[in-house]
Structure 1
Amino acid sequence: MATVMERVQAIVADKLSVDEAEVLPEASFMEDLMADSLDLVELIMAFEEEFSDEDTTIEISDEDAEGITTVQAAIDFLAANGVSDD
């Protein structure tokens, strides 16, 4: 199974129409990957869907979403909420 990083990279590449190679941990969604506010909402929803399962529901509040500005911040948030590499 793919790692959390690989899954986040795939989601970001898909939603923002960028190459996965550009989706580095330090990449800023808005500054480096050219996401707009609607893109960020779609990313948050995609993260919630991808990382929720029958045992765990990932919910990202608006307040938390404001702090998720980079790929690494997304990974850190997910890790802090029980998501790990299987």
Structure 2
Amino acid sequence: MTKAEIFDKIADIIADRFEVDRDQINEQLNFKQDLDADSIDFVEFVLELEDTFGAEISDEDAEKLNTIGEVVDYIVAHQGEQK
């Protein structure tokens, strides 16, 4: 899966989960600052990412993911890793 395809899937998840206009989602979007995501919102988002992309994201790694771009890069680097 290409980086653009991964970004599109993640953007669709964010648009749906956080009720954000899809056109406003970019790689610099910050979960806490721009989406007002609390820890529960973020955990649910990470679980959905794991289901969507079939990779496990450790709690330690998840804590380092602040922007959409960081999530995309993480998925690109770990795609194909099974839970």
Normalising by structure 2, what TM-score?
0.86
Cα displacement string for residues 20-46 of structure 1 (whole angstroms, at most 9, x for unaligned residues):
122210010110112111110011001
- CA distance in structure 2 between the partners assigned to 1:38 and 1:3 by the alignment: 26
Unaligned runs of 5+ in 1: 53-57
Question: Given the alignment of the two structures, is residue 71 of structure 1 paired with residue 73 of structure 2, yes or no?
Answer: no
Aligned residue number for residue 81 of structure 1: 78
- Structure 1 residue 61: Cα displacement: 0.5
Among 21, 24, 31, the residue aligned to 1:22: 24
Aligned residue number for residue 55 of structure 1: none
Q: How many residues align?
A: 78
Does the 8 Å contact 1:15/1:42 carry over to 2?
Answer: no
Unaligned runs of 5+ in 2: none
Does the 8 Å contact 2:53/2:79 carry over to 1?
Answer: no
Cα displacement string for residues 53-73 of structure 1 (whole angstroms, at most 9, x for unaligned residues):
xxxxx0000000001111001
- CA distance in structure 2 between the partners assigned to 1:65 and 1:78 by the alignment: 11
Percent identity at matched positions? 37
- Structure 1 residue 82: Cα displacement: 2.5
Counterpart code for 1:65: A
Aligned residue number for residue 41 of structure 1: 43
